Structure 1
Amino acid sequence: MVQQVEAVYPESDGQPMADNTEQFAWIVKIKENLEILFASPADIFIAGDLFWYPVKGNPNIKQAPDTMVVFGRPKGKRSSYLQWDEDNIPPQVVFEILSPGNTLKEMTKKLQFYQRYGVEEYYIYDPAKNDLNGLLSSGDSFEVIEEMNGWVSPRLGIRFQITSDTLEIFSSTGQKFLSPVEIDQLREQECQAKEAALQEKEAALQELEKERDRYQELLAKLKQKGIDADNL
């Protein structure tokens, strides 16, 4: 009897997540801002550069999207996304950030993979060219989104705005996606504003306390002179 060898699903291919600092910065910005945006729902899983294996028993069929979003799966740690262990739910949204090292052959294979294994929305951004492309699933194929400037993702609710030199992404409430440094700076500004407001409030209370003390002193002087302030 031939013993069946269980398939091994590698967690890494030994390749770096990004080829340059700009590509890495965009991967982090999109992934982390989506984590913030969907922090409350317990059933939305978001990952960056995580191997996705859609077919059990075939570890050669895999991709590691720069960012992927899975609705209907719990948050939590994973060494890879084994779809058969995830109620067979594929990532519905994926992002790829291009670098000079990406080849047409490589990107074609990714498009075919995402199309075949159930991705609903596929976004590709080239920071060097400030070029954003999007595709939506339509049956067994993808349809190109003709106008990406101002496009709102059906699944994520985020809006893409292409300026003259960069891409800006906004949540449904209008909050702009920021880098970790910008988020920290904004938090510091908010802390400083709260501190200033608190100091202003404390100063106003101190001034009110002084006014009360002066009023009490006046009442005491009037009383010493035999004047009843209630009859004034």
Structure 2
Amino acid sequence: MHQRLRSAPTVVYPESDGQPMAETPRHQQVMIDCMNVLRRHFYKIPEVYIGGNMLLYYEEGNPRKSVSPDVFMVRGVSKKELRVYKTWEQHPTLDFVLEVASPSTVRKDLGEKKELYANVLKVREYYIYDPYHEVEPSFIGFRLVGGMYEEIEFVNDRLVSEQLGLELGEHEDTLRLYDPMNGTWLPTSDERADAAEARAEGEARARQVAEARAAAAETELAELRAVLERLQASE
């Protein structure tokens, strides 16, 4: 009797771990703002991928080996949509990771995740930020040097990211990204929308003023013509 060959079972890599995106709206806003600002900053560079709040699998065939960085950046990966990140299909190491921390996560962020990011995923820069300042330290960064993390020192109250070419710091009571080349904080999506609305309103007001001036000039010209016609008629 011939024995049937059984195919290897299909390994399923879930797209969700059932956990919420963030603990609070403020945590969520920090994550969304950071991802959106980085995506816009790198949008002209094709091989820079910005992700976050997605499951990242780092051992093929073992879906239990996963982590979900709040925000991450990796070079060498196209900007195509990914539902999960598999290191053996995309890129085995990450360049930048940000975890938005809280009292319930900081021990894991500074312990288990820090070890994983340093020893397995070889994350070149790792940052932890607590928007409520409930943990100590509430803002810290590490750079991978010789296979070990070294704490990044603050310069002008900001942490310099060599991988991003930007600086991370607090501005208006939240985490922001600073461009040292331009000397400006990179605007969030809301700020860009507000600026666009303000420009549109300014342009509309300028058009109204120009139209009013043109109408006044036409009226004045018509009055001058009427005066001239009366003078000519009286001669």
TM-score w.r.t. the length of structure 1 is: 0.81
Supply the distance in 2 between the matched residues of 1:209 and 1:45 (Cα, whole angstroms): 57
1:206 to 212, 215, 224: 215
Shift of 1:60: 2.4
| Contact map agreement 2:21 2:53 (CA 8 A) in 1 | yes
1:156 and 2:156 correspond: no
Q: Cα gap change, 1:163/1:191 in structure 2, threshold over 3 Å: closer, same or farther?
A: closer
Q: Cα gap change, 1:50/1:215 in structure 2, threshold over 3 Å: closer, same or farther?
A: same
Supply the distance in 2 between the matched residues of 1:65 and 1:142 (Cα, whole angstroms): 17
Supply the distance in 1 between the matched residues of 2:79 and 2:142 (Cα, whole angstroms): 26
After superposition, the C-alpha distances for 1:152-206 in whole angstroms (9 at most, x for unaligned) are: 3212222233469544432343443555544433332222122112222333333
| Contact map agreement 2:34 2:176 (CA 8 A) in 1 | no
Aligned to 2:148: 141
Aligned to 2:101: 98
Shift of 1:135: 0.8
2:124 to 110, 117, 120: 120
1:185 and 2:194 correspond: yes
Aligned to 1:108: 111
Supply the distance in 1 between the matched residues of 2:214 and 2:93 (Cα, whole angstroms): 58
Supply the distance in 2 between the matched residues of 1:208 and 1:157 (Cα, whole angstroms): 53
1:73 to 69, 74, 77: 77
RMSD in angstroms over aligned alpha carbons? 2.8
Question: What percent of counterpart residues are identical?
Answer: 28
Supply the distance in 2 between the matched residues of 1:208 and 1:41 (Cα, whole angstroms): 51
1:39 and 2:43 correspond: yes
Q: Which segments of 5 or more consecutive residues in structure 2 lack a partner in the other structure?
A: none
Q: How many residues align?
A: 225
Supply the distance in 2 between the matched residues of 1:158 and 1:181 (Cα, whole angstroms): 20
| Contact map agreement 2:30 2:175 (CA 8 A) in 1 | no
After superposition, the C-alpha distances for 1:95-139 in whole angstroms (9 at most, x for unaligned) are: 100022215145311111111212111111011218211111112
Supply the distance in 1 between the matched residues of 2:11 and 2:175 (Cα, whole angstroms): 41
Q: Cα gap change, 1:155/1:197 in structure 2, threshold over 3 Å: closer, same or farther?
A: farther
**Range with bigger deviation, 115-124 or 192-201:** 192-201
Q: Which segments of 5 or more consecutive residues in structure 1 lack a partner in the other structure?
A: 227-232
Supply the distance in 1 between the matched residues of 2:31 and 2:9 (Cα, whole angstroms): 36
TM-score w.r.t. the length of structure 2 is: 0.80
Match of 1:151, SS? strand
| Contact map agreement 2:100 2:130 (CA 8 A) in 1 | yes
Supply the distance in 1 between the matched residues of 2:39 and 2:73 (Cα, whole angstroms): 9
**Range with bigger deviation, 3-12 or 94-103:** 3-12
